[in-house]
Amino acid sequence: MLLGKVVGTLVATRKEESLDGLKFLVLKQLDMEGNETGGYRVAADAVGAGLGEVVLYATGSAARQTKYTHQRPCDGVIMAIVDQVEVDGKVTYDKSEAV
Amino acid sequence: MLLGKVVGTLVATRKEESLDGLKFLVLKQLDMEGNETGGYRVAADAVGAGLGEVVLYATGSAARQTKYTHQRPCDGVIMAIVDQVEVDGKVTYDKSEAV
Amino acid sequence: MLLGKVVGTLVATRKEESLDGLKFLVLKQLDMEGNETGGYRVAADAVGAGLGEVVLYATGSAARQTKYTHQRPCDGVIMAIVDQVEVDGKVTYDKSEAV
Amino acid sequence: MLLGKVVGTLVATRKEESLDGLKFLVLKQLDMEGNETGGYRVAADAVGAGLGEVVLYATGSAARQTKYTHQRPCDGVIMAIVDQVEVDGKVTYDKSEAV
Amino acid sequence: MLLGKVVGTLVATRKEESLDGLKFLVLKQLDMEGNETGGYRVAADAVGAGLGEVVLYATGSAARQTKYTHQRPCDGVIMAIVDQVEVDGKVTYDKSEAV
């Protein structure tokens, strides 16, 4: 899994039927210190993530292992909202202190 | 999932039987602002996408989770036509304003 | 899927039993204009592709969705021989004109 | 599989239900000499790995093939703690000598 | 699939139970001329490959399609020992002539 920051939304009315009801969010990819790496990903939201939140997302077939994404043509899912990341003994991200 | 722009078509008459009837489109990969990134992908079309349209596509096993691509040797599928992308509070793509 | 050009063959007599009978071809990866990108891939041949032909290949679990590769430890398959690619209104590859 | 070094932890209370009880660790990716490559990965821990340990991790659907991760939306798992790596006849990593 | 050269071994005593008995080898990734590309991979050995041998390996779910790796958390497998590679009409690797 990798870290991402929810920065946007994507609207698509014409789509594969089975995608109805799925919410697509735009993520900026983050490194483990919480810095943006330049990459992005569109992911289905399985946890009710909000704009600005740092999340954990999974790609590939793992993205279909939530009740929202099961058997849908979806290769990326947000499956956790991150509270805290600690690297080398330092807290590199803390949701309660994030602006 | 990632964003792509439909820029072309691919014709192949000699192919694995199970691919009969699938339409292959050529996509330029886009970043989340809608700029071309230099990469491309050939994807099966599950939504009737047209040339010039910005689409959402999935890769890997997710690409076989549409009725068109089920159990076919296909690792990329267009499963949504994008209406609007909003990033950091700004609309970065709007189908109705696209040329 | 991506485009590749068949440039060679690979022979392996000592291999996982289930691979018996599979033909392995060496592909140079192509961009959508048909230029070599520097990468390569070894893929199983599901369509009887010949040296010099431009093909479409799939990777990942999709590579096992042909009758030749079903349940075999194979992560790349040639599943179509390309006749024509058209990008931005121009034919970038035409099998009948290829040397 | 690739080598990683456990450098941190990730806490997430709001997450897909099926992830309850999974421990997420932050890994720095290593090359085969044990040097950091600059990349990272968040992985579920299937073996009780500790901070500072060099581990082997698997990604993709393989990450769901442990009893801890079965059918969970998880695309990375630590499934072995490395004792020794030998490359070109030299020991490049030995757990008993690691600081 | 890609080419690799077996350059080392990896020992791990503490690991997911289902991995017992699997042999892990360290591979240097090769291009199609047999040159090292700088990358590496740890793969399970399904064919009894030896140090110095050039092999074909598969990644992703394909890596679990051998009797040795079935349903194990393994994302890379050596499933063939290469005898000969021929590219553009020239033999770029021949096991019988390799030092």
Residue D82 has pLDDT above 70, yes or no: yes
What local confidence, expressed as pLDDT, does residue B98 receive? 81
Q: Is the pLDDT of residue C99 over 70?
A: no
Instruction: Determine the Cα–Cα distance for residues E35 and D90; give it in Å rounded to an integer.
Output: 21
pLDDT at C59 over 80: yes
Residue, of A99 and E76, whose pLDDT is higher: E76
Rounded Cα distance between A11 and E41, Å, is 39
Q: Any idea what the Cα angle at residue A36 is, between residues A31 and A37, rounded to 5°? A: 70
Contacts of E89 (CB under 8 A, 6+ apart): none
| A69-95 tens-digit pLDDT | 999 999 999 999 999 999 999 999 999
pLDDT > 70 fraction of chain D, expressed in percent and rounded? 99
Cβ-Cβ pairs closer than 8 A, A with D, add up to: 100
Mutate to test the interface with B, among C30, C69, C74, C82 (most CBs of B within 10 A): C82
Residue carrying the six token digits 């553009």: E88
User: Residues 6 or more apart from B20 whose CB is under 8 A from it?
Assistant: none
pLDDT in tens, C14-35: 999 999 999 999 999 999 999 9
Which helix (H) or strand (E) segment holds residue E97: the answer is: none
Spatial contact of E76 and E49, defined as CB atoms under 8 Å apart: no
Residue C38 in this model has a pLDDT that exceeds 80: yes
Total number of residues shown for chain A? 99
Q: Which ranges of C1-99 would DSSP assign to H, the alpha helix?
A: none
Neighbours of E30 (CB within 10 A): 22
What is the least distance, in Å, from the CA of E89 to any CA of chain D?
32
Angstrom distance (rounded) from CA E42 to CA D82: 12
E40: nearest CB among D31, D58, D61: D31
D99 Cβ contact list (under 8 Å, min separation 6) = none
Residue C90 has pLDDT above 90, yes or no: yes
Separation between Cα atoms, residue B42 and residue B26, nearest integer Å? 5
Residue to substitute from C6, C9, C11, C45, interface E, most E β-carbons within 10 A: C11
Is residue E37 within 8 A of residue C40, CB to CB? The reply is no
CA distances from A23 to A41, A50, A65, B61, B67 (A): 14, 11, 16, 20, 21
> What percentage of residues in chain E have a pLDDT greater than 90?
97
The per-residue pLDDT for C98 is: 81
Report phi then psi at C23, rounded to 5. -100, 125
Would you state the structure tokens that stand for residue E15, as one six-digit string? 């690991």
Backbone phi, then psi, for A86, in 5-degree steps? Answer: -125, 125
Contact E75 D88 (CB under 8 A): no
Residue in D58, D83, D87 closest to E12 by CB: D83
Centre a 10 Å sphere on the Cβ of residue E40 and count the other Cβ atoms it contains.
22
- In the structure, how many helices (H) and strands (E) does chain B have? 0, 8
Q: Which domains does chain E have, with CATH numbers?
A: 2-97 (2.40.50.220)
For residues D42 and D10, the answer to whether their CB atoms sit within 8 Å is yes
Per-residue pLDDT of chain B (99 residues; tens, 9 = 90+): 999 999 999 999 999 999 999 999 999 999 999 999 999 999 999 999 999 999 999 999 999 999 999 999 999 999 999 999 999 999 999 999 986
- pLDDT tier, A98 (very low <50, low <70, confident <90, very high otherwise): confident
**Is residue A23 packed enough to be buried (19+ CB in 10 Å), middle (13-18) or exposed (0-12)?**
middle
Q: What is the pLDDT of residues D35-63, one digit of tens each?
A: 999 999 999 999 999 999 999 999 999 99
| Distance between start and end Cα atoms, chain E | 24
Q: What is the pLDDT of residues D8-33, one digit of tens each?
A: 999 999 999 999 999 999 999 999 99
- Residue D89 C-alpha, separation from nearest chain A C-alpha, in angstroms: 32
Q: Tell me what pLDDT residue D98 has.
A: 81
What per-residue confidence (pLDDT) applies to D99?
63
CA distances from E90 to C7, E1, E31, E93 (A): 10, 20, 15, 9
Q: Can you tell me whether residue E62 is helix, strand or coil?
A: helix
> Under DSSP, is residue D63 helix (H, G, I), strand (E, B) or coil?
helix
Q: In Å, how far is A72's CA from the nearest CA of chain B? A: 6
C11 contact partners, CB below 8 Å, separation of at least 6: C24, E82, E83, E84, E85
For residue C57, the model assigns a pLDDT of 98
DSSP one-letter code for C11: E
pLDDT one-digit tens code per residue, A11-62: 999 999 999 999 999 999 999 999 999 999 999 999 999 999 999 999 999 9
- At D77, is the pLDDT very low, low, confident or very high (cuts 50, 70, 90)? very high
- Under 8 Å CB pairs connecting chains B and C tally to 100
Chain B interface, Cβ < 8 Å to A = 1-3, 31-32, 46-48, 56, 58-66, 69, 77, 79-88, 92
pLDDT of residue E98: 81
* Partner residue facing E79 (CB), from C13, C16, C59: C16
Q: What is the pLDDT of residue E99?
A: 63
Q: Among B12, B26, B43, whose Cβ lies nearest the Cβ of C32?
A: B26
**Bridge partners, residue B43, by sequence:** B25
Q: Given a cut of 90, is residue A99 above it in pLDDT? A: no
